[in-house]
Amino acid sequence: MAIIVPFRGLTYNFKKITNLSQIITPPYDIISEKEQDSYYNTHPNNIIRLELGKKMAGDNDSDNRYTRAANYLKEWETDDILTRAKQDTLYLTSHSYDPGDGSGTKVRWGFMSLIKIEEEGSGVILPHEKTFSAHKDDRLKLLKACSTQLSQVFGLYDDAGSGILDTLRKFTKATPDVSFTFTDGTGHKMWCITDPEAISKVKGFMAKKPIFIADGHHRYETSRNFRNYMRGKHGAGPEKSYEYVMMYLTDMGEDGLTILPSHRLIKMDRSFDPALFLEKAEPCFNIEKLKTDRSNELEFAIGLKNALAQNGLKTPSFIFYSKKEQNFYLMGLKNGVADELLNDLHPSLKKLDVIILSRLILEKVMEFTKADMDNDSLFHYDSNIASTISSVDSGEYDIAFLINPTKIGQVQEIASASQVMPRKSTYFYPKVLTGMVLNKIDPDDRICIQ
């Protein structure tokens, strides 16, 4: 089903830049302005200058963050800061991290390749979240300027005993081409695999599998828009380089895959009475006021997480907290409510926590519109309970809803049914770093698909 191919990746020159932790960043969409400044100051060749360049006073059509990114890219290639592989390659990576749940260090394995861009609804590459035009417009401008895919789409597949990663992990007996510890403490290794037999096996296994997009929905749709743009200029064909997008792929059954929750933080733009909110929510939810002992904030956060998880085994559940009221309320959906009030939804969506929160709490009880919930000045997302609560206590936000993480099986079920979740329904952790490998798109290049 999925057509994957190796490629001649563009990487930093490992002989010139030996510490990749100074030039790598997380994905652009989770970088704050403060972090952007920090990455700019870390190293003159940090990937931030390409992936998320600064806006400047006086920017115009001929001089802007996109044209500057293109100029940096050209300059770094000329100066041999970035070099292109001489052979078609699959890039195997290991990513070691602490998920913060007391289970100890985990390792997530994955590989980077190109994958043929499919039409919407093909059933081969399956999204699970909706996208927004502004983000896609930004990414398309950058892609047109640079003709290079700077970061990967994060994809999942169900290995089901094929042994795809095991085929590639045989090459880890060799010294990794890249090995470093990032600033967040996560460990990274990468092996550049050019063995034709191994690549052929992986291609054969992957040809039987659909791919679920975990992260990078905007990047994937942008790659399709760019492909259509390039088709208009250079024609279509399975060997054309712009018919493919760079992906990081991992087995959804791997122990190293973690999904964190996306707790909701709200800055109210209207008057809000917590007591009235709870009264209006009561017909749909069983509501319990939790005991509050915040003498040890870490233990308190763990207690909230456990209470939420335990109740979540029985029914979709949330914890409500407001600056005004400063009590924590466990809210569990009453039996039959979803069937009664969400009968317009596909069955796979009715039991999804983020849908219950969006439709029954934010829209029905609090009367937010869908446009409100897409307003980044009103809504914010945080995967950490302690920092979520702190954001309310500080007054930065007025309300928080703590939520359990979406399960990987739910992602698979919903995407397979061609349904989509609300934005920020999943937070796959850790994120795939930007700058490990880039994909240069030259319309004169030809992809070997044999």
pLDDT digits (tens, 9 = 90+) for 63-99: 999 999 999 999 999 999 999 999 999 999 999 999 8
pLDDT over threshold 70, residue 102: no
Cβ atoms within 10 Å of 66's Cβ, excluding its own: 20
pLDDT-derived band of residue 330, with 50, 70 and 90 as boundaries? very high
Distance in Å from the first CA to the final CA of the chain: 15
The two three-digit tokens of residue 374, written as one number: 């897409």
The two three-digit tokens of residue 71, written as one number: 């100029």
CB proximity list for 363: less than 8 A, separation 6 or greater: 369, 370, 373
What's the rounded Cα separation, in Å, for the pair 6 and 76? 23
Dihedral pair phi/psi, residue 91, rounded to 5°: -110, 105
174-188 mean pLDDT? 94
> What is the residue type of 107?
V
The two three-digit tokens of residue 201, written as one number: 């096996």
Dihedral pair phi/psi, residue 381, rounded to 5°: -130, 140
- % of residues, the chain, pLDDT over 90: 76
- SS3 label, residue 163: coil
What's the rounded Cα separation, in Å, for the pair 214 and 412? 10
pLDDT digits (tens, 9 = 90+) for 229-278: 999 999 999 999 999 999 999 999 888 999 999 999 999 988 999 999 99
pLDDT of residue 305: 94
Burial of 111-123, coded b for 16+ CB within 10 Å and e otherwise, reads bbbbbbbbeeeee
Q: Are 266 and 398 in contact (CB under 8 A)?
A: yes
Dihedral pair phi/psi, residue 241, rounded to 5°: -65, -30
Instruction: Give 196: exposed, middle or buried? Use CB within 10 Å, 0-12, 13-18, 19+.
Output: exposed
pLDDT digits (tens, 9 = 90+) for 382-434: 999 999 999 999 999 999 999 999 998 898 888 888 888 887 888 888 899 99
Q: Are 386 and 301 in contact (CB under 8 A)?
A: yes
Ordered by start, the domain boundaries in the chain are 4-258+430-440, 262-404
CA triplet 235, 217, 189: central angle to 5 degrees? 100
Q: Are 193 and 168 in contact (CB under 8 A)?
A: yes
pLDDT-derived band of residue 132, with 50, 70 and 90 as boundaries? confident
The secondary structure element, H or E, covering residue 231 is helix 217-234
Which residue blocks in 24-148 are alpha helix, DSSP H? 33-42, 48-51, 65-78, 133-146
Dihedral pair phi/psi, residue 121, rounded to 5°: 85, 10
